[in-house]
Amino acid sequence: MTQKSFQDYYPEQTALCYGCGRLNEHGLQIKSYWQGDEAVCVFQPHPYHTAIPGYVYGGLIASLIDCHSTGTAAAAMYKAEGREMGTEPAFRFVTGSLHVDFLRPTPLDDPLEVRATVKEIKGRKVIVSCTLYAKGEACAKGEVVAVQMPSNFGI
């Protein structure tokens, strides 16, 4: 049986996000999984996700960090409450703030790996720290303040 990603548990009405919605056929459809205490997302950029030829444009890096972090926030909240993902009521997070430091140009040809750790859970907020790697080198660092979405939002 294949392991389900965090995003596979999103309720249908919140699974349309361009970055992480499994139902958005135009989107990135990222998938995030626990590896121990880290949440990991691997994404293969398309050749047109370019900045300068050969390197990834910053907006994609920001998008991966953003959506991987909100997914990680949801998964962390289930874990903190000792609940299985997919149980009701569903957790879904939106981004309160996003910060990205671009450490070096990110090569475009290989898969990108975003590794996230949960820095803090505080009420309805989860702070997530990420590092994005390409070819094993850290190319960007990010921090997201994710905020639990009201259950009636967007419905």
Instruction: Give the single-character DSSP code of 81.
Output: T
* Residue of 33, 38, 42, 50 that binds a second copy (CB under 8 A): 50
By CB under 8 A, the residues from 71 to 90 that bind a second copy are: none
Alpha-carbon distance 144 to 69, whole Å?
A: 6
For the chain, the C-alpha Rg in angstroms (whole number) is 15
Size of the site for a second copy (CB under 8 A): 43
Alpha-carbon distance 17 to 150, whole Å?
A: 16
* Residue of 5, 63, 72, 129 that binds a second copy (CB under 8 A): 63
Of residues 84, 69, 85, the one with CA closest to residue 121: 69
Contact code string over 4-43 relative to a second copy, x by CB under 8 A? ---------xx-xxxx-x--xxxxx---------------
* Residue of 41, 73, 85, 100 that binds a second copy (CB under 8 A): 100
> Do 140 and 51 contact (CB within 8 A), yes or no?
no
Site residues (vs a second copy, CB under 8 A):
13-14, 16-19, 21, 24-28, 46, 48-55, 57-60, 62-64, 66-67, 94-102, 105, 149, 153-154
